[in-house]
Amino acid sequence: MDGTIENFVIYLHDVKKTSKNTEVSYERDLKKAAAYFKDQGIEDMCEISETNLNSYMLYLEREKFAPSTVSRSVAAMRTFFQYLMKEKRIVQDPSEHLHPPKVEKKVPEILTVEEVDLLLSQPDTRTAKGLRDRAMLELLYATGIRVSELIHLRGSDLHLQMGYITCSDEGRERIIPFGNAAKRALESYFKGAREKLCPGGACEYLFTNCSGSVMSRQGFWKVLKGYAKAAGITKDITPHTLRHSFAAHLIQNGADLRSVQEMMGHSDIATTQMYLNAELYKMKDTYAKAHPRK
């Protein structure tokens, strides 16, 4: 069963050109489903029926998994069984009538400009780690890239003097500019930290952990959480918070949706429009607090 899933992930990467995030998420969801079916006496994913899938969806619902988690699991299942059909491993797709639950789009948590400034001032730039962390945070907020994209940036993706990075997502390359604050932080990182963390440039990635290896998402999240706590920020900060804040602040300051969509790498502009909703939510909240006739 695991072998079939692994071959599917290879297919996603080589043929569908999916992002690393999609591959990791789909593999995790499918292995979770495979464990469930194994407990039900089904050893081969090719033997799964529509009834089995419906049973698994009910199990996820019963265990109170978030609708977004169930929705992603449905997407993984449908793509997986389409792959099995393509490989002629099955003659009928059991996921054909599988539909994801309705996922309510929440207004993302967004930091104020003052909170961003406070957060970015936390790293101790007298140390190599602090210089690295400051450069990572500045670049993340300056470009709005995903944390997975940040930690997998290579040296060749950075064009420091020109002030932009190139970022690949699902086979599409996008160019994202950054400002002087990020440029200064990167210059300080190269001058005072890069050689200490990555002697001789042995690691191809732009940022490394303290052992000179590629940093993990979990590692960066711990770094971010630590600085948020030190800054006294009580909002629920996630690795996506600076990305959300980047987009919201651009739109608040007059950037057009198409430009923000391009920088964020959104395939559908409707995804970018949620930051307009965030701004509307902020205005309504301000109105409710300030207007004399509420």
Specify the pLDDT at position 117: 94
**Average pLDDT value for the chain:** 85
Phi and psi of 164, rounded to 5°?
A: -155, 160
pLDDT mean over 20-24 = 84
CA distances for 217 relative to 168, 225, 289, angstroms: 17, 12, 38
Fold exhibited by the domain 2-86: DNA polymerase; domain 1 (1.10.150)
pLDDT level of residue 287 (50, 70, 90 thresholds) = very low
Phi and psi of 76, rounded to 5°?
A: -65, -45
Give yes or no for residue 281 having a pLDDT over 50: no
Q: What's the pLDDT tens digit per position in 167-212? A: 876 567 888 999 999 999 999 999 999 999 888 777 889 998 888 8
Angle, alpha carbons 262-266-271 (nearest 5°) = 120
- Closest to 193 in 3D by CA, of 126, 137, 120: 126
Tokens of 136: 């990572």
Cβ partners under 8 Å of residue 245, min gap 6: 110, 111, 116, 141
What is the four-CA torsion angle of 116, 119, 121, 122, rounded to 10 degrees? 180
Specify the pLDDT at position 283: 46
User: Alpha-carbon distance 276 to 65, whole Å?
Assistant: 29
Specify the pLDDT at position 247: 84
Poorest-confidence range of 4-13, 37-46, 170-179, 268-277? 268-277
pLDDT mean over 130-144 = 94
Fold exhibited by the domain 113-288: hpI Integrase; Chain A (1.10.443)
Domain ranges in the chain are: 2-86, 113-288
The 3-state DSSP class for residue 230 equals helix
User: Alpha-carbon distance 38 to 130, whole Å?
Assistant: 47
CA distances for 88 relative to 2, 80, 81, 91, 159, angstroms: 18, 12, 10, 7, 46
Specify the pLDDT at position 284: 45
Q: Are 215 and 207 in contact (CB under 8 A)?
A: yes
Angle, alpha carbons 69-109-132 (nearest 5°) = 95
Percent of the chain with pLDDT over 90: 44
Q: What's the pLDDT tens digit per position in 58-102? A: 999 898 888 888 888 999 999 999 999 999 999 999 999 888 887
Q: Are 148 and 221 in contact (CB under 8 A)?
A: no
Give yes or no for residue 37 having a pLDDT over 70: yes
- Between 20-39 and 50-62, two packed helices, what is the crossing angle to 10 degrees? 100
Report the predicted TM-score, pTM, of the whole model to 2 decimal places: 0.62
Specify the pLDDT at position 187: 96
Phi and psi of 17, rounded to 5°?
A: 55, 45
